[in-house]
């Protein structure tokens, strides 16, 4: 995917508008439609969904002001129970 402009930075954080995120989602969908490899198609579709979620977060952030930060937190591997211990 080619980005036409570098993302803006505010206080060291990357800021993208909802419209930019939606455009990236649309690009991913167009690329997925023309892709013959099903695995690549699935990856591009997943990327489009991620851009859609980021667009929603950017919209919320715009309404809420600069105090809301979009952050993703991955659960640490250590905190997960092995599947044999799940009740």
* Residue 78 CA neighbour count, 13 Å, CB half: 0
The answer to the question of residue 78 being in a domain is no
Range of the domain at 31: 18-66
The answer to the question of residue 11 being in a domain is no
pLDDT of residue 42: 98
14 and 8 Cβ atoms separated by less than 8 Å: yes
Q: How many domains does the chain have?
A: 1
d(CA 19, CA 57): 12
If you ran DSSP here, which 8-state letter would residue 9 be given? Answer: E
The answer to the question of residue 5 being in a domain is no
Backbone angles phi, psi at 32, to 5 degrees: -65, -40
pLDDT in tens, the chain (87 residues): 455 555 555 554 557 899 999 999 999 999 999 999 999 999 999 999 999 999 999 998 888 765 445 444 445 544 545 555 554
Number of Cβ atoms within 10 Å of the Cβ of 59: 15
17 and 54 Cβ atoms separated by less than 8 Å: no
pLDDT of residue 78: 46
């Amino acid at each position: 995917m080619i980005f036409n402009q570098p993302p803006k930075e505010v206080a060291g954080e990357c800021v993208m508008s909802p419209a930019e995120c939606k455009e990236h989602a649309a690009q991913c969908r167009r690329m997925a439609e023309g892709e013959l490899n099903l695995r690549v198609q699935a990856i591009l579709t997943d990327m489009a969904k991620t851009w859609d979620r980021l667009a929603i977060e950017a919209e919320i952030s715009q309404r809420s002001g600069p105090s809301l930060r979009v952050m993703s937190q991955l659960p640490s591997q250590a905190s997960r129970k092995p599947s044999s211990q799940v009740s």
